[in-house]
């Protein structure tokens, strides 16, 4: 009786858990396809609902296109995975539940492996991460009128963490797209005034003549992020453990239900 009660609890927890992710995945997919098919209607809606110039930065065609593919990929994965979990529990299908369990185990194993490799090969991981981040600047960072998702990401990161580039401002000399601006540093590397998301330098001369007083041009974002993680290590660990716990519970519930149905 107790065992049957536990299976019922596992079934309904699995259904609830995956139903929430199913809805989230469906929303991501819908928005992604909407952006991919009809960018103009999104821009018009964005203009109607808000006059906030910060939001309008996301109306760049390149940003919308990149965002649409990211949403479709992420939404599709979440949608399929949660569909397997929910339908498997609802229809009591050992095949669906087994497939769901294998996929979640694979994801968890990849996360643990990546964390283990990063810890054991810290120097190599540090070097490779820096090189990867520099490559995103050299390949994608552009001027404001041609900004894409990567450019916006870097601008928000630099404005928020008061830093410039991966190591320093020299990283931007690697970007041909940025060199068209004929500026030394992006606005986001400067000491900003007002809403930092508008990237308005306090000193108008900063982008052309950065200094220690009007910018953060010698402060790299990699070290700034590393310092933030160290300062907020408890929060980072709590988030990682919470995500891992959800995945483990999903695996346990699916395996218990699958075993009961198979038995």
Tens digits of residue pLDDT in 173-186: 989 889 888 899 99
59 pLDDT band, cuts 50/70/90, is low
CA atoms of 14 and 200, how far apart (whole Å): 48
Percentage of the chain exceeding pLDDT 90: 32
Q: With 60 as the cut, is the pLDDT of residue 52 above it?
A: no
- Enumerate long-range contacts of 11-14, CB under 8 Å, 24 or more apart: 11/89, 11/92, 11/253, 11/257, 12/89, 13/249, 13/253, 14/85, 14/86, 14/88, 14/89, 14/250, 14/253, 14/254, 14/257
Of the listed ranges 1-10, 23-32, 240-249, the one predicted with least confidence: 1-10
187 pLDDT band, cuts 50/70/90, is very high
Q: With 80 as the cut, is the pLDDT of residue 42 above it?
A: no
- Return the pLDDT at 48: 64
Percentage of the chain exceeding pLDDT 70: 88
Q: With 60 as the cut, is the pLDDT of residue 263 above it?
A: no
CA atoms of 25 and 75, how far apart (whole Å): 4
Q: With 70 as the cut, is the pLDDT of residue 3 above it?
A: no
- Return the pLDDT at 1: 45
Rounded to two decimals, what is the model's pTM?
Answer: 0.75
| Cα Rg of the chain, angstroms | 23
Check residue 145 and report its DSSP letter: G
Cβ burial, residue 159 (10 Å; 0-12/13-18/19+):
buried
Model confidence pLDDT, tens digit, residues 110-143: 988 888 888 888 888 888 889 999 999 999 898 8
64 pLDDT band, cuts 50/70/90, is confident
Helices (H), the chain: 2-37, 39-49, 53-56, 61-91, 94-120, 122-140, 149-161, 176-179, 221-231, 233-262
CA atoms of 87 and 77, how far apart (whole Å): 15
Burial 226-248 (b: 16+ CB within 10 A, else e): eeeeeeeeeeeeeeeeeeeeeee
Q: With 60 as the cut, is the pLDDT of residue 172 above it?
A: yes
Structure tokens given for 58: 């996301």
Q: With 80 as the cut, is the pLDDT of residue 225 above it?
A: yes
Sorted by sequence, the CB contacts under 8 Å of residue 98 that are 6+ apart come out as: 254, 258
Q: With 90 as the cut, is the pLDDT of residue 205 above it?
A: yes
CA atoms of 55 and 43, how far apart (whole Å): 10
Q: With 70 as the cut, is the pLDDT of residue 47 above it?
A: no
Give the containing element (helix H, strand E) for 190.
none
CA atoms of 75 and 35, how far apart (whole Å): 13
| Residue among 218, 174, 183 at smallest CA distance from 204 | 183
Give mean pLDDT, residues 53-80.
Answer: 76
Give mean pLDDT, residues 149-161.
Answer: 91
Name the packing angle between helices 149-161 and 122-140 (round to 10°).
120
Model confidence pLDDT, tens digit, residues 84-96: 989 988 888 888 8
- Return the pLDDT at 163: 94
| Residue among 132, 97, 76 at smallest CA distance from 11 | 97
Helices (H), 38-60: 39-49, 53-56
218 pLDDT band, cuts 50/70/90, is very high
């Amino acid at each position: 009786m107790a065992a049957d009660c536990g299976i019922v609890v596992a079934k309904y927890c699995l259904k609830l858990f995956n139903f929430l992710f199913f809805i989230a995945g469906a929303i991501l997919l819908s928005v992604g396809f909407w952006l991919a098919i009809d960018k103009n209607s999104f821009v018009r809606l964005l203009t109607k609902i808000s006059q906030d110039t910060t939001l309008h930065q996301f109306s760049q065609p390149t940003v919308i296109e990149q965002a649409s593919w990211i949403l479709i990929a992420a939404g599709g994965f979440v949608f399929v995975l949660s569909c397997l979990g929910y339908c498997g529990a609802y229809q009591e299908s050992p095949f669906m539940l087994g497939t769901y369990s294998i996929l979640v185990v694979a994801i968890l194993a990849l996360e643990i492996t990546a964390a283990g490799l990063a810890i054991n090969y810290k120097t190599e991981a540090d070097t490779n991460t820096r090189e990867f981040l520099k490559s995103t600047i050299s390949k994608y960072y552009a001027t404001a009128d041609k900004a894409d998702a990567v450019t916006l990401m870097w601008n928000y990161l630099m404005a928020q963490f008061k830093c410039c580039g991966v190591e320093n401002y020299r990283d931007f000399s690697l970007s041909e797209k940025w060199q068209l601006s004929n500026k030394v540093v992006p606005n986001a590397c400067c000491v900003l005034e007002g809403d930092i998301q508008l990237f308005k330098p306090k000193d108008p001369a900063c982008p052309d003549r950065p200094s220690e007083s009007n910018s953060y041009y010698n402060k790299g974002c990699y070290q700034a992020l590393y310092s933030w993680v160290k300062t907020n290590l408890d929060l980072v660990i709590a988030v990682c453990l919470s995500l891992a716990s959800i995945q483990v519970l999903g695996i346990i519930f699916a395996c218990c239900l699958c075993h009961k149905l198979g038995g």
